A and B are shown apart, each in its own frame.
Chain A
Amino acid sequence: ETGVTQSPTHLIKTRGQQVTLRCSSQSGHNTVSWYQQALGQGPQFIFQYYREEENGRGNFPPRFSGLQFPNYSSELNVNALELDDSALYLCASSASRTEAFFGQGTRLTVV
């Protein structure tokens, strides 16, 4: 148990739809990072939030956006879903540049 929880655990969406994934960070952690993991690949960095501000972004298009709330929980929003967006989405909670703990992930399938 890492104390990091994600919801929902599984989701099926249709191409073109929008989706919101949620992450509750571990107590005492002020940083949340989001990753996309395709089957057989390593987690790919989407972006990171620190104290409600985005402070790093990977090579993902603007239709991937996020928020961090005052309690440090976070949302990942993806607009105009594409088939290639099907993946496991992981959030990781940390206290700045220290060890990061992952939630169990949200398995998104786009059909």
Chain B
Amino acid sequence: QQPVQSPQAVILREGEDAVINCSSSKALYSVHWYRQKHGEAPVFLMILLKGGEQKGHEKISASFNEKKQQSSLYLTASQLSYSGTYFCGTIDQGAQKLVFGQGTRLTINP
């Protein structure tokens, strides 16, 4: 079952904050976040394994609410380099395969 991401697209000015959401209809084992720039492969950002876990990566952090089967990616004080399409990937409880959402396109303008 493919996770659902929202919003589909975001346009920000440099320095603004953004939140990207990912939700699943199934119980999740883990949530993975990736960023993909045009013409390139997805780049791994972080993995979240436990309910309520929050992780950070410079000014990019994420949370995982296991009970709600939801994860959110937080980008603070966005930089031009943050532009790209963000994908969440999920592994269901008891499953092996990593399944991706449809992506959220983030555009950062100067």
Determine if A50 and B44 form an interchain contact, defined as CB atoms under 8 angstroms apart.
no
Determine if B101 and A33 form an interchain contact, defined as CB atoms under 8 angstroms apart.
no
What residues on B are CB-neighbors of A45 within 8 Å? 97-100
Please give the number of chain B residues whose Cβ is less than 8 angstroms from any Cβ of chain A in the complex. 23
What residues on A are CB-neighbors of B89 within 8 Å? 100
Determine if A41 and B96 form an interchain contact, defined as CB atoms under 8 angstroms apart.
no
Q: Least Cβ distance of B102 to chain A in Å?
A: 5
Determine if A103 and B103 form an interchain contact, defined as CB atoms under 8 angstroms apart.
no
Q: Least Cβ distance of A14 to chain B in Å?
A: 24
Determine if B102 and A100 form an interchain contact, defined as CB atoms under 8 angstroms apart.
no
Residues of A whose CB lies within 8 Å of any CB of B are 2, 31, 33, 35, 41-45, 48, 50, 55-56, 58, 90, 92, 94, 96-105
10 new A-B contacts, CB < 8 A, other than A41-B103, A48-B96, are A31-B96, A42-B102, A44-B100, A50-B96, A92-B98, A101-B44, A102-B42, A102-B43, A102-B44, A104-B40
